[in-house]
Structure 1
Amino acid sequence: MIKDSADRQTTAAQITIRTLLAALLLLVTLAVIEWQVGWQNLWLNWQTVDVRLLIWLSLLSLFSYLMRAVRIQVGFSLPFNHSPVLFHISTAHNFANILLPMRAGELAFPILMKRHLRINLFNSSTMLLLFRLLDLLALLSIGAVILLASLQQWLWLSLCIACLVLLLLAANRIKQTIVSLLTECKPTILHKLANSLSDLPTQGKPFYKVVLTTYVIWLAKIVAFLGLVLHVSDLSPLTATLSIVLADLSSVLPIHGLAGTGTYEGAFVLGSAWLEAKTSELLAAAVMLHMYLLVIAMLAAGFGWLWVKLYHYYTRCLTSPSTT
């Protein structure tokens, strides 16, 4: 009991330290942005953005959110009439992930799936793990293909694509190996995890539908982000794309500024600094992209919440007995 109390105190201390570091990182980032770019200059940059372009980019970003809902539907083989609920789950989960550090927002997905669709925590968590692995694979492969094609490294590009195809083809064998290893373990919880993993779609049409949907999600997201960055800066498409990919990868870091502030911009700048782009220009583009990302995530989460509320209200109206 004393050990449990000590562990809780240690955990609380770690959370406090990381929260303080995140707050400090936020303050440092705000100061660096004012020093390198200037908040007034950022506001002037936003005024030059074409409203029609911003609307189209926003629709493309919302389409990527909609495809996240489709991926959940395909992954769990759910009926189409669950679309409002799935869109709410995907947008709320994404918004929580953006705001909370250390990937703590991932907990929202199994909780929301349990609450709205009564899918147990093990099944939703293992499906989320599959989604995240495919997200990482898609993001890395898209970045690698763009970089190698721009550098005309055709041999390495062919090897990269071949490795990607082989990895996808071997997904079911990899899963079976992991399941067999977990089954041999004594703890019961690992047996439950093995059962959940064995139900994952890792071959055939269901799996490749999930893979295809994942690539559509990331291509739509990257194109939308690329459209904004190229419009507000003089960065080349290669520089902008690499910065966008690395900024998204920064979300796996254990320490974040609040809502990713600092780590997102830092990864964006470092991702293309070796291409001799100006740091101030990279930082300005990174901040504007981060602001766009936060606003779109907030709007998508709000729209998802409103859509599911209207859906439940409409459903209750249909099922409630009519009064005379």
Structure 2
Amino acid sequence: MGTPRYARYCGLALLLLVLVGVQCAIGWAELLQPWLTIPPLTLLLAALLTLGSYALRALRLYDYFLPHTRGGFTACLKLTLLHNVFNNLLPMRTGEVSFPVLMARYFATSLTRSVAAMVCFRVMDLSALGILALTCVGAHSRNGWLLALLAVIGLAQPWLLFRIQSSAWLLELGRSLPQRWRQRLAPARDGLPRTATAYCRAWLWTLVNWLVKLAVFAVILQLFAPMPLAAAFVGAIGGDLTSVLPVHGIAGVGTYEAGVVAGLLPFGVPAKAALAAAVNLHLFMLGMSLGSGAFALLLRHDLTASELIDTRG
């Protein structure tokens, strides 16, 4: 999928603006110097935990498509790592296109089914980020009623999603579509969980994955600027949320930093320190994405899509 010309120009402009702006506001040498003071074991642990969050995301994919994915966890991991690289590097969510393409290649999954599953994943991801962000704000402000409300919403999330999916009005809407559209969209139901229990499992993997990833990213932010843990979590969430913007810089440069800074400033973190921490977190995230993507190219899964079809009838 080609990127519109205006988006490429905006992305390049943001990249140049960040490069020049950081040099003028902080200086790249000063910004990068703290990396030399971080113990190597701390960075190694952060990298391993981040890889662990990628593995949890692959486990969600594996569990979600069972029994179609049985015996293919390595393929799920490879797919997840490559999809992550494309999402982080390509603008305007064009990296999402890689998911149905890779699902078709590794598991012979139809386009409609994989897109429906991807939409379900994104709804869970966004709701998890929202709940975690509000939880951090509630904990920081000692707002007990907000925390209790969020706990109820979090526990009810799988049931709510299942009820919406199986609601009468949604089924009636499907019947009102022209016959050709009903035939095209019919496989989409196969891309959604059939029971509330299946939603619960997917929701559990989603929460655990984000908790691990955001905990690592929060600690990385704290390594570069003093801030409360709640602020670090909200800043990390702000950076991830910018990936849904229609226009952002090359590899998210500019918009990612803006999201992190926007999450840190309300907690009283100085703008200069927030910017330095945001840039360094982005460097860590991009380094992990590229490194895990290179690792994915070395992975060899045992069964191809055609073999999977042959062995499963």
Aligned to 1:307: 299
- The answer for the alignment partner of 2:205 in structure 1 is 213
**Contact in 1 for aligned 2:219/2:232 (Cα 8 Å):** no
Q: Distance in 1 between matches of 2:183 and 2:140?
A: 47
Q: Secondary structure at the match of 1:97?
A: helix
Deviation at 1:199, TM superposition (A): 4.9
Indicate yes or no: 2:212 matched with 1:223. no
Gaps of 5+ in 1: 1-10, 317-324
One-letter identity of the residue aligned with 2:151 = I
Corresponding residue number in structure 2 for 1:319: none
User: Max radius of gyration: which structure?
Assistant: 1
Partner of 2:156: 166
CA distance in 2 between counterparts of 1:269 and 1:202 reads 40
Does the alignment pair 1:99 with 2:82?
Answer: no
Counterparts of 1:170 and 1:187, CA distance in 2: 29
Q: Is the 8 A contact 2:11 2:249 kept in 1?
A: yes
Moved more, 253-262 or 41-50: 41-50
CA RMSD in angstroms, aligned pairs only: 2.1
1:188 maps to a residue whose letter is: R
Structure 2: stretches of 5+ with no match in the other structure: 308-313
CA displacement at 1:81 relative to structure 2 = 2.2
SS of 2:268's equivalent in the other structure is: coil
The Cα of 1:53 is off from its aligned counterpart by 0.4
CA distance in 1, matches of 2:158, 2:71: 30
Query: What amino acid is the match of 1:143?
Result: A
Which residue type is aligned with residue 180 of structure 2? T
In structure 2, the CA distance between the partners of 1:75 and 1:101, relative to structure 1 (3 Å rule), is: same
For normalisation by structure 1, the TM-score amounts to 0.88
Summarize the Cα distance change of 1:257–1:282 in structure 2 as closer, same or farther, 3 Å threshold: same
CA shift for structure 1 position 182:
2.4
Quote the offset at 1:93 in angstroms. 0.6
One-letter code aligned to 2:131: S
Structure 1's consecutive aligned runs of 4 or more residues displaced over 4 angstroms after TM superposition are none
Structure 2 residue aligned with 1:109: 99
Q: For each residue in 1:153-199, what CA deviation from the matched residue of structure 2 results, as whole angstroms up to 9, or x when unmatched?
A: 11122122223333431212211233431232116235432441355
Counterpart position of 2:231: 239
* 1:67 paired to 2:56: yes
Residue of 262, 284, 288 corresponding to 1:292 = 284
Instruction: For residue 265 of structure 1, report the CA deviation from its aligned partner.
Output: 0.2
* Residue number among 22, 34, 56 corresponding to 1:45 in the alignment: 34
| Alignment partners' CA distance in 2, 1:25 and 1:58 | 28
Give me the whole-angstrom Cα distance separating, in 1, the residues matched to 2:96 and 2:179. 24
Q: Could you tell me how far 1:35 is from its partner in structure 2?
A: 1.3
CA distance in 2, matches of 1:259, 1:197: 33
Q: Aligned residues: percent identity? A: 28
Aligned-residue offset at 1:307: 1.2
Identify if the C-alpha distance between structure 1 residues 274 and 204 changes in structure 2 by more than 3 Å, giving closer, same or farther: closer
2:10 matches 1:29 = no
Q: Deviations over 1:188-215 (max 9, x none)?
A: 2354324413551153332211111111
Q: Distance in 2 between matches of 1:172 and 1:239?
A: 33
Q: Give the structure 2 partner of residue 3 of structure 1.
A: none
- Pairwise mapping of residues 177-188 of structure 1 onto structure 2 (< 5 A)? 177=167, 178-186=170-178, 188=180
Q: Name the SS for the 1:119 alignment partner.
A: coil
Alignment of 1:113-128 (within 5 A): 113-128=103-118
Distance 2:128 2:32 in 1: 33
Name 2:271's counterpart in structure 1. 279
2-side partners of 1:251 and 1:58: how far apart? 21
Q: Distance in 2 between matches of 1:192 and 1:236?
A: 50
Paired residues, what number?
302
Closer/same/farther in 2, CA of residues 266 and 275 from structure 1, 3 Å limit = same
Q: CA 1:51 to 1:312, structure 2 compared with 1: closer, same or farther past 3 Å?
A: farther
